[in-house]
């Protein structure tokens, strides 16, 4: 039977060149030693992926901006050309230079792009998006749904008319959105209400730990980023021996890269094989 795994990799990188006030890693800088360690871990993970026989779909979810680092770019290029890697993507603010993407395999390479209106001009951001389109790179694009971003959200939607625009709901404040705001955001992103919900997940059936895994830079395996039950280590265990069909131990799940695994939501019906990238075909 063909084996397919979704893998979310997060190394030790926790620095970013942007200064978003809601992010704990804004404008933080890693030391050279920290970056060297993160690079070593990432390259070891890429080596591990190269040896797999199973089909892999991989999303890199760094605590910060990875693509301004050349070693992340090289890792993405290398992974995109592996036969067993059916999809490779990374969450990014798209602030990096993009000439290197000409070396990727566009059949498997994707980008999960977030627009930060307070950190980059709209024109510069759209120019980057147009570059991706011109080079046949598939990507999702979205923005944090803060009230201060509404004008930028509308402008993004009206400019990238052929592309699904996702909205990450701002849930740090209770009842942050009025009913009319929720309706308007729902017209921009038809799945906004799913993201604007803390889903009841306790004891619910989930793919986390069964077909989807969170892997750290050291190779430790967890069901997902939000379930801190260590299953083993990819460098000392065979991943197939660590898989287990269980239910969620958390009361709720409110982040896309967590709740995408909930069987009750059946989000694969919406995203298909692009579940990790949040890409919907127009």
**CATH code, 127:** 3.20.20.70
pLDDT of amino acid 24: 65
Tell me the angle at which helices 179-188 and 150-159 cross, rounded to the nearest 10 degrees. Answer: 20
Count of structural domains, the chain: 1
Q: What residue numbers bound the domain in which 195 lies?
A: 4-271
Residue 177 belongs to a domain? yes
Mean pLDDT value across residues 178-183: 98
Sequence-separated contacts (24+) of 180-187 with Cβ below 8 Å: 181/147, 185/145, 185/153
Output b/e per residue, 162-185; b: 16+ Cβ within 10 A: ebbbbbbbbeeeeeebeeeeeeeb
Residue reference for tokens 């680092």: 69
Residue 276 belongs to a domain? no
Phi then psi for residue 236, to 5 deg, are -125, -15
Residue 278 belongs to a domain? no
pLDDT in tens, 8-28: 999 999 988 888 877 766 678
pLDDT of amino acid 3: 77
Residue 281 belongs to a domain? no
Tokens of 142: 């979205």
At residue 194's C-alpha, the angle toward residues 193 and 197, to 5°, is: 85
pLDDT of amino acid 42: 98
Residue 83 belongs to a domain? yes
Residue 280 belongs to a domain? no
pLDDT of amino acid 19: 85
Confidence of residue 221 (pLDDT cuts 50, 70, 90): very high
pLDDT in tens, 197-213: 999 999 999 999 999 99
Residue 159 belongs to a domain? yes
User: What's this model's pTM, rounded to 2 decimal places?
Assistant: 0.96
pLDDT in tens, 103-140: 999 999 999 999 999 999 999 999 999 999 999 999 99
Strand partners, 140: 112
Please say if the pLDDT value at position 2 is more than 80. Answer: no
CA distance 176 to 168: 13
pLDDT in tens, 44-75: 999 999 999 999 999 999 999 999 999 999 99
Phi then psi for residue 125, to 5 deg, are -65, -45
Coil vs helix vs strand at 164: coil
Residue reference for tokens 């094989």: 273
C-alpha closest to that of 249 among 209, 198, 200, 203: 203
Coil vs helix vs strand at 137: coil
In this structure, what is the dihedral angle of CA atoms 89, 92, 94, 95, given to the nearest 10 degrees?
-140
188's CB contacts (< 8 A; 6+ apart) are 153, 154, 157, 165, 167
C-alpha closest to that of 211 among 2, 50, 12, 43: 2
pLDDT of amino acid 22: 75
Q: What is the mean pLDDT of the chain?
A: 95
pLDDT of amino acid 164: 94
186's CB contacts (< 8 A; 6+ apart) are 192, 193
pLDDT of amino acid 200: 97
Residue 81 belongs to a domain? yes
Percentage helix, strand, coil, to 5, in the chain? 30, 20, 45
pLDDT of amino acid 25: 63
pLDDT of amino acid 282: 55
C-alpha closest to that of 109 among 92, 125, 87: 87
């Amino acid at each position: 039977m063909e084996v397919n795994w979704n893998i979310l990799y997060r190394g030790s990188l926790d620095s970013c060149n942007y200064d978003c006030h809601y992010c704990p890693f804004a404008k933080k800088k890693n030391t050279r030693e920290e970056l060297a360690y993160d690079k070593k871990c990432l390259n070891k993970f890429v080596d591990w992926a190269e040896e797999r026989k199973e089909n892999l779909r991989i999303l890199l979810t760094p605590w910060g901006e990875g693509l301004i680092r050349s070693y992340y770019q090289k890792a993405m290029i290398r992974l995109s050309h592996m036969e067993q890697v059916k999809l490779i993507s990374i969450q990014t603010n798209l602030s990096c230079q993009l000439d290197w993407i000409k070396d990727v395999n566009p059949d498997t390479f994707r980008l999960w792009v977030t627009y930060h209106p307070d950190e980059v001009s709209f024109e510069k951001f759209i120019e980057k998006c147009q570059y991706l389109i011109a080079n046949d790179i598939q990507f999702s694009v979205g923005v944090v749904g803060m009230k201060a971003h509404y004008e930028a959200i509308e402008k993004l939607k009206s400019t990238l008319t052929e592309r699904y625009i996702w909205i990450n709901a701002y849930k740090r404040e209770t009842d942050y959105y009025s009913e009319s705001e929720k309706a308007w955001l729902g017209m921009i992103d038809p799945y906004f209400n799913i993201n604007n919900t803390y889903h009841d997940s306790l004891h619910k059936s989930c793919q986390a730990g069964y077909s989807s895994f969170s892997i750290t830079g050291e190779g430790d395996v967890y069901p997902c980023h939000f379930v801190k039950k260590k299953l083993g280590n990819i460098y000392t265990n065979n991943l197939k021996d660590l898989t287990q069909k269980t239910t969620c131990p958390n009361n709720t799940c409110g982040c896309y890269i967590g709740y995408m695994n909930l069987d009750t939501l059946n989000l694969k019906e919406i995203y298909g094989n692009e579940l990790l990238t949040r890409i919907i075909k127009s």
